[in-house]
Amino acid sequence: VLIKELIEKKRDGLELTFDEIHFIVDGVTRQTIPDYQISAWLMASLCSGMTEAETAALTEHMLNSGRRLKRCTDRLRVDKHSTGGLGDKTSLILAPLLACLELDVPMLSGRGLGITGGTLDKMEAYPGYRCDLSEAEIESQLRKIGCVITGTTANVAPADKRLYAIRDVTGTVPSVGLITGSIMSKKLAESLDALVLDVKWGSGAFMKSIIEARELESSLVRTGRRMGVITTSLLTDMNQPLGRMVGNACEANEAVDIMKGSGPADAVEVTLALGAELLLSTNRESCPEKARQAIASLLQNGQALHRYQEMIEAQSGRFSEVLPIERSTVVESKNSGWVVSLDGARLGNIVIAMGGGRRSQQDAVNPGVGLEMLVRIGDRVENGQPLLHLFFDGAQPEIDALRDLAREAVGIGPSQKPGPALIVESA
């Protein structure tokens, strides 16, 4: 087989076979196909689309390009994956919480890409926290604590590492098939029994429309099930940040609030819904209401928080209930009316501009930077009323400009618009 012929076949809209996709993924992993042919195939795949069989084959070969984590206990093994959104700190809560229910949670996570923060960056807000656990360390920690939040090891889906680096610079990220392969190859490498997906849509999410989000959701769920993992999903709203806090330390603190039984209602609700989904899909509970109560009680009684602290300390992090945050400045409304929209992309870019996220992979992140939303869609605001706080490094020269940008991110209209549905549907 010649890679050129496979590029041409995909370019012409034909379906590649299981073996042909193996040839490509193998060439990606063993570096026998040069970058320029990989990028041409990626663009042809994006433009022509990928079938369900192609997506499944891509996922399977990417998974097999590396090793899977070993099953090291008799407990059921589960995970939650979110497609990413502003202020989404649910993973920090669910990993220790599910471990309290005698489920193993081998959560291999990533760093922030674009406007949505990365779970690893949030965990690293705890000084000393290690995200580079070896396979042996992951196994040992799962045996002892039942949960881990760490980076993918070098052995997990090496094909994805090279493919993603090329996709990132060639405009070939937003393909449902390629996204599915990238996400699911890494999740399947965790050797899971069950996975729940949180697919987000809206201005602060990767998928800006509900139609695109549904397409991705369907692809992810079908691929997971095809590979023998119990896979369910929720389609959730990301037209406004989840919770009040955006930024690494800010979000870690808010996660702790939730694990102390308080915290904002929307973030609590998504946490309950995703956790309950896993208890139902694994038959640990049969009644949705009981499943939610099981999750909620672990937030109320402090057990999730206790396990969270154990996990952080096992990974060499120094836990504190409240991490330090940078100084704050308030952004006030310049008119009166109703909040009708929040521009998530703009809010995310403001956090990046303040040093709380990455423009390129080498950038250092300041964990104390972030923002706090004081209003939500549907709220009434008056002229001069605070809309949000920015937490910024005092040396930030552009803070006035960023405050203006933040103000513009809050759309204010003459009449009330209901807030979007938080949980749209489940699959």
* Residue among 14, 32, 36, 316 that touches its own copies (CB under 8 A): 36
Measured between alpha carbons, how far is residue 396 from residues 90, 106, 365, 393 in Å? Answer: 30, 38, 14, 6
Q: What is the dihedral of CA 351, 352, 353, 358, to 10 degrees?
A: 160
Interaction of residue 169 with its own copies, rule CB under 8 A: yes
Report the nearest approach of its own copies to the CB of residue 400 (Å).
27
* Residue among 43, 274, 354, 390 that touches its own copies (CB under 8 A): 43
* Residue among 39, 64, 109, 333 that touches its own copies (CB under 8 A): 39
238 three-state secondary structure: coil
Stretch that binds its own copies, among 36-44, 97-105, 306-314, 369-377 (CB under 8 A): 36-44
Whether residue 7 contacts residue 23, with contact meaning beta carbons closer than 8 Å, is answered with no
Report the nearest approach of its own copies to the CB of residue 174 (Å).
9
Residue with smaller CB distance to its own copies, 38 or 339: 38
Interaction of residue 29 with its own copies, rule CB under 8 A: no
Report the nearest approach of its own copies to the CB of residue 8 (Å).
4
Interaction of residue 346 with its own copies, rule CB under 8 A: no
* Residue among 16, 44, 92, 268 that touches its own copies (CB under 8 A): 44
**Dist CA 61 CA 268 (whole Å):** 37
Q: Which positions from 135 through 154 interact with its own copies, judged by CB under 8 A?
A: none
* Residue among 25, 42, 93, 278 that touches its own copies (CB under 8 A): 42
Structure tokens at 374: 């004081």
**Dist CA 220 CA 406 (whole Å):** 34
Own/partner long-range contacts of 258-266 (Cβ < 8 Å, ≥24 apart): 258/89, 258/93, 258/299, 259/93, 259/96, 259/97, 259/299, 259/302, 259/304, 259/305, 259/308, 260/299, 260/302, 260/305, 261/299, 261/300, 261/302, 266/242, 266/422
CB-based burial label for 31 (10 Å; 0-12, 13-18, 19+): exposed
Stretch that binds its own copies, among 165-173, 191-199, 380-388, 406-414 (CB under 8 A): 165-173
Task: Write out the catalytic residue numbers.
Answer: 81, 160, 167, 182, 186
* Residue among 48, 55, 150, 231 that touches its own copies (CB under 8 A): 48
The H-assigned helical ranges of 65-175 are 90-100, 119-123, 135-144, 158-170
Interaction of residue 209 with its own copies, rule CB under 8 A: no
Closest among 155, 115, 111, 165 to 133, alpha carbons compared = 155
Interaction of residue 7 with its own copies, rule CB under 8 A: yes
Residue with smaller CB distance to its own copies, 25 or 374: 25
Q: What does the buried/exposed string (b/e) look like for 353-362 if buried means 16 or more CB atoms within 10 Å of the residue's CB?
A: bbbbbbeeee
Report the nearest approach of its own copies to the CB of residue 211 (Å).
16
Q: Which residues pair with 329 in a beta bridge?
A: 390
Stretch that binds its own copies, among 32-40, 62-70, 176-184, 320-328 (CB under 8 A): 32-40
Interaction of residue 172 with its own copies, rule CB under 8 A: yes
Contacts of 140 (CB under 8 A, 6+ apart): none
* Residue among 128, 171, 384, 413 that touches its own copies (CB under 8 A): 171
Interaction of residue 35 with its own copies, rule CB under 8 A: yes
Interaction of residue 47 with its own copies, rule CB under 8 A: yes
* Interface positions with its own copies (CB under 8 A): 4, 7-8, 11, 34-40, 42-44, 46-48, 166, 169-172
